[in-house]
Amino acid sequence: MATQTGITIAGPNEPYTVVDNIPRPTCGPTQALVKSLFVGLNPVEPFMQHTGVLIAEFPAVIGSDVSGVVLEVGSECKKLEKGEYVFGCVPVGLNKFSPFQETFLAEEDWTFKKGERVGLEEACTVGAGVLTAGLALIDGQGLKVPAPGTNAEQKDSWVIVMGGSGSVGQYACQIAKLCGYKVLASCSPSKDEIARKAGATATFNNRAPIDEQLGLIERITGGQFGRIFDASVQAVQLSIKALEAISKESDKYFASADDWSEMDVPDSISVYRVQLGLLGRADNPLSKRVTDQVAEMVRIFEGQIEAGGLRPLDYELAPGMGWDKVIEGIANLEAGKAIKKSVVKVQEE
Ligand SMILES: NC(=O)c1ccc[n+]([C@@H]2O[C@H](COP(=O)([O-])OP(=O)(O)OC[C@H]3O[C@@H](n4cnc5c(N)ncnc54)[C@H](OP(=O)(O)O)[C@@H]3O)[C@@H](O)[C@H]2O)c1
């Protein structure tokens, strides 16, 4: 059996270990074998390492956002070819799909083909953020993305993005704007520019007392909103109060990137909780819907990225290269030292 290098975790809260004995996966008919070149780091990595949640097998190989080059394709692949560059967010917690190893498997329907417009480094800032925001706003709240290169009809309605400065939140701002909505984003005052660059028309301070935040939402929107996406996972109470007390629209939607906490949401509000972790999980009945939606979104967003309608995030490339740099990068993320999206080069092509 061919083996390869990468990072494994022996069990929940066990350290990351660089090893050279990971079995090298073999392509199924609709899969590509991809060489990991750059990985983007997300909060899900330390979460999985500490808790073991979402991990299907130990020793585990983890990782979520990646860009790389196709080495082989399965017999029924229609979209991907050997030598092409690809990127995206993998189904997390399944060893053979995980990018913290030399090569991993990519289902072609869930994988973005890299065009001319984005570079390989920035491409690995796209997957988890755009898919989480897309599930929330398109599957969860019915937004319609215009065809690439065309403009959506401008709506006299706001979409509120809690955490518009984060990775998920920046894509939510971009998608809502692309769909013709005015965007109000919450963020720290120091990150106002980030949310505005992503498409927010206005912002408010996410650390202000809740009554102050509600007052600003009312003053800025005049109640002309019915959709809130909490990409920060910190703003359930604020979001529900805003929809109940301020929104003047008849249809009210609340989406959250938090799919783990208990939430008490009144029946008058439609709730959607993003479960990107179900992508590719044959063992879960809800997985098919998430997986089908992701395939649809990859098609929609591939065109938008190439047309310039959606942009990758600003990022910081870690100095050096290799698996130990990934481990250092995750430690920095956990220590709150990552100001921008962290990208690590893991191998030469
Ligand atoms: N359910 C799913 O399938 C799924 C998928 C992907 C991600 N997620 C989750 O989504 C969340 C966001 O991920 P991300 O990658 O976008 O993280 P991120 O880049 O770290 O962004 C976090 C956001 O939350 C805001 N925030 C942090 N602490 C806050 C507080 N105390 N009060 C209000 N806002 C606060 C930040 O705003 P400032 O920095 O401006 O203060 C920032 O906008 C994470 O919890 C992640 O685990 C879930």
Q: Which atom of ligand 1 is nearest to the CA of 163?
A: 43
pLDDT, residue 168, reads: 98
Residue ID of nearest Cα to ligand 1 atom 7: 257
Residues 6+ apart with CB under 8 A from 328: 318
pLDDT, residue 339, reads: 86
pLDDT, residue 337, reads: 93
- Contact in structure between 263 and 256 (CB atoms under 8 Å): yes
Q: Which atom of ligand 1 is nearest to the CA of 167?
A: 16
What's the number of CA atoms in the CB half-sphere (13 Å) around residue 288? 1
Domains and CATH numbers, the chain: 3-126+312-345 (3.90.180.10), 130-278 (3.40.50.720)
User: Which of these, 159, 145, 153, 137, lies nearest to 224 by C-alpha position?
Assistant: 159
Residue ID of nearest Cα to ligand 1 atom 31: 234
Q: pLDDT > 90: what percent of the chain?
A: 98
pLDDT, residue 282, reads: 81
H helix runs in the chain, sequence order: 44-51, 120-123, 127-134, 167-178, 192-197, 210-221, 236-245, 287-307, 323-334
* Separation of alpha carbons 191 and 340, rounded Å: 10
* Separation of alpha carbons 65 and 233, rounded Å: 20
Task: Please give the full DSSP string across 257-312, using - where no structure is assigned.
Answer: S--SS-----TTEEEEE--GGGTT-TT-TTHHHHHHHHHHHHHHHHHHHHHTSS-P
pLDDT, residue 283, reads: 78
Output the CA 165–ligand 1 centroid distance in Å: 8
- Contact in structure between 101 and 128 (CB atoms under 8 Å): no
* Separation of alpha carbons 141 and 311, rounded Å: 22
- At 76-89, the pLDDT tens digits run 999 999 999 999 99
Residues with CB under 6 A from ligand 1: 42-44, 128, 132, 163, 165-169, 187-188, 191, 206, 231-235, 257, 259, 274-277
- At 176-199, the pLDDT tens digits run 999 999 999 999 999 999 999 999
* Separation of alpha carbons 131 and 301, rounded Å: 9
Provide the residue type at 162 as one letter: M
pLDDT, residue 62, reads: 98
Output the CA 234–ligand 1 centroid distance in Å: 8
Residue ID of nearest Cα to ligand 1 atom 35: 232
pLDDT, residue 285, reads: 84
Task: Please give the full DSSP string across 215-245, using - where no structure is assigned.
Answer: HHHHHHHTT-EEEEEESSSS-HHHHHHHHHH
The token pair at 279 is 């992508």
The token pair at 276 is 């990107």
Output the CA 74–ligand 1 centroid distance in Å: 36
Output the CA 286–ligand 1 centroid distance in Å: 24
Output the CA 233–ligand 1 centroid distance in Å: 6
What is the DSSP secondary structure assignment for residue 249, as one 8-state letter? -
pLDDT, residue 284, reads: 83
Query: Which residues of the chain fall short of a pLDDT of 50?
Result: none
Residues 6+ apart with CB under 8 A from 40: 64, 65, 66, 124, 125, 126, 127, 128, 315, 341, 342, 343
